[in-house]
């Protein structure tokens, strides 16, 4: 079996079993999480919310406050997600997990999707103008061609 065909979708299933969604606290990532939550609920899939903590070059990471700040973002995201699931608790038994990976967003989401055996990946559209030139995480995920990717505006 070639590397290209190593990841095949299982036939006879009724939709995705694991949906990975990238969250970073931005408005577009929170919209992506809301969309993925509805999809996971309707498909009875596991929702894996993934926050990728940035890793800085050694010279830029001399001060610990940056690492502390990204840990605080992750903790705040977990708090927000728990609060949101409490509000909809009576509506469904949504199964979800929160995962933190380190690295650049693209590599972190690829690693998460591979390790969690994702059937689908959901991300928010990039809000950074520079990504139109060098390519957004979403475009890179689509080009990887390893999972269905949904980009939420």
**Quick check: 26 pLDDT over 90?**
no
Q: Average pLDDT of 13-22?
A: 84
> What's the pLDDT at 24?
84
pLDDT for 2: 47
Across the chain, mean pLDDT equals: 77
- H-type helices in the chain, by residue range? 27-43, 65-87, 105-115, 131-134, 137-144
Taking the whole predicted model, whether its pTM rises above 0.85 is answered as: no
pLDDT in tens, 65-93: 555 666 777 777 777 766 665 665 545 57
pLDDT per residue over 30-39, tens digit each? 899 999 999 9
CA 149 to chain centre: 11
When mean pLDDT is compared over 49-58, 116-125, 135-144, the highest value belongs to: 116-125
Q: Report, in this order, helix, strand and coil percent for the chain, each rounded to 5.
A: 45, 20, 35
Write down the pLDDT at residue 84.
Answer: 64
Q: Is the dihedral of CA 24, 26, 152, 130 positive or negative?
A: negative
Burial class of residue 136 (count of CB atoms within 10 Å of its CB; 0-12, 13-18, 19+): buried
- DSSP helix/strand/coil, 95: strand
pLDDT on residue 1: 47
On the question of pLDDT at 120 being above 70, the answer is: yes
Q: Do 22 and 137 contact (CB within 8 A), yes or no?
A: yes
Classify residue 134 by burial, with Cβ atoms within 10 Å: 0-12, 13-18, 19+: exposed
């Amino acid at each position: 079996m070639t590397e290209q065909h190593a990841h095949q979708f299982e036939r006879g299933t009724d939709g995705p079993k694991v949906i990975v969604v990238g969250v970073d606290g931005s408005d577009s990532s929170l919209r992506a999480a809301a969309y993925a939550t509805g999809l996971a609920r309707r498909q009875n899939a596991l929702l894996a919310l993934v926050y990728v903590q940035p890793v800085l070059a050694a010279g830029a990471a001399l001060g610990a406050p940056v690492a502390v700040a990204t840990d605080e973002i992750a903790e705040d995201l977990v708090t927000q997600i728990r609060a949101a699931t409490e509000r909809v608790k009576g509506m469904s038994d949504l199964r979800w997990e929160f995962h933190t990976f380190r690295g650049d967003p693209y590599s972190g989401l690829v690693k998460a999707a591979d390790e969690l055996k994702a059937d689908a990946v959901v991300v928010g559209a990039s809000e950074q103008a520079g990504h139109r030139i060098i390519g957004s995480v979403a475009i890179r995920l689509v080009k990887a061609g390893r999972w269905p990717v949904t980009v939420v505006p």
